[in-house]
Amino acid sequence: MRRLYNVNVKIDNDANAAALAEAKWGAGRGYRNVFCASIGTGIGTGIIFDGRIYHGRTGAAAEGGHIGIDSNGPRCNCGKRGCIETLAAGPAIGRRAGQKLSKYPKSLLGELASGNADAVTSEMVARAYAARDAAAEEVIRETLDLLAYWLGSIIDLLEPEVIVIGGGVSTMLAPFLNEIRERWQGACLNPAPMEIPLVLARYGEDAGIAGAAALCEFE
């Protein structure tokens, strides 16, 4: 590419690049140490350490979505069991919600999915929650607990100055950012976790494009 077009070429993974864009121009602007998570069909994460992407030894670092939460949990796309991605990414929220239908047979959630547990999606959870459906409320509460537990560990490991979340599921989580922070107090050793802001990403579907531009500008 460089030879053919005589342009600067940078390559990185989308989550790392998105984290850089958020740290330089987006919701993490002004901070040198940023943890960025994109929660959608999976959970992609990037670490900005002292203003640069943290790559680890070979470039395989910062796979925060594959931190194990439950060794007996569901099988993940990566081959492991119980990664946070298998519990709190969009499809995982839908799957956990589907498991509530037997407990809440008359719920709006069940109605939206025509009683089919496998058909429940995270979008249905959001809709049912807005209508104060008890099954959806339980799913949301559990999701906040899972994310807070995971982010508590991230805080203990990295103590970032800010945590940025994006991706499709972040829209659903937007009203609960402070609740997640309150819950992570009990999920980490850090003495002042409430001083760490949890903010929504600036770049939505354009995170990868913004990230690519940031790579060329800063890496």
Closest distance to Zn ion from the beta carbon of 212 (Å): 25
- From candidates 9, 11, 78, 194, binder to Zn ion by CB under 5 A: 78
Structure tokens at 59: 């470039």
Token reading at 16:
């790392």
Residues in the chain: 219
Among all chains, which residue has been given the structure tokens 């519990």?
A: 87
Q: Whole-angstrom Cα distance, residue 69 to residue 44? A: 16
Query: According to CB under 5 A, which one of 23, 36, 37, 76 is a site residue for Zn ion?
Result: 76
Choose between 24 and 66: whose C-beta lies nearer to Zn ion.
66
Q: Does 83 bind Zn ion (CB under 5 A)?
A: yes
Question: Which lies closer to Zn ion via its Cβ, residue 35 or residue 203?
Answer: 35
The stretch among 31-39, 76-84, 129-137, 162-170 that binds Zn ion (CB under 5 A) is: 76-84
Q: Does the protein bind Zn ion through residue 154 (CB under 5 A)?
A: no
Cross-strand bridge partners of residue 37: 45, 165
Measured from the CB atom, the residue of 52 and 75 that comes closer to Zn ion is 75
Residue 66 interacting with Zn ion (CB under 5 A): yes
Select from 32, 80, 81, 202 the one that contacts Zn ion (CB under 5 A). 80
| Interaction between residue 43 and Zn ion (CB under 5 A) | no
Q: Which residues contact 55 (CB under 8 A, 6 or more apart)?
A: 16, 61, 62
Cross-strand pairs, 163:
35, 198
Taking alpha carbons only, the member of 213, 160, 207 closest to residue 48 is: 160
In angstroms, the Cα distances linking 158 to 6, 14, 34, 80, 171 are 38, 21, 9, 23, 25
The residue range among 64-72, 120-128, 164-172, 200-208 that interacts with Zn ion, by the rule CB under 5 A, is: 64-72
Residues that are catalytic: 14
Per CB under 5 A, residues contacting Zn ion are 66, 76, 78, 80, 83
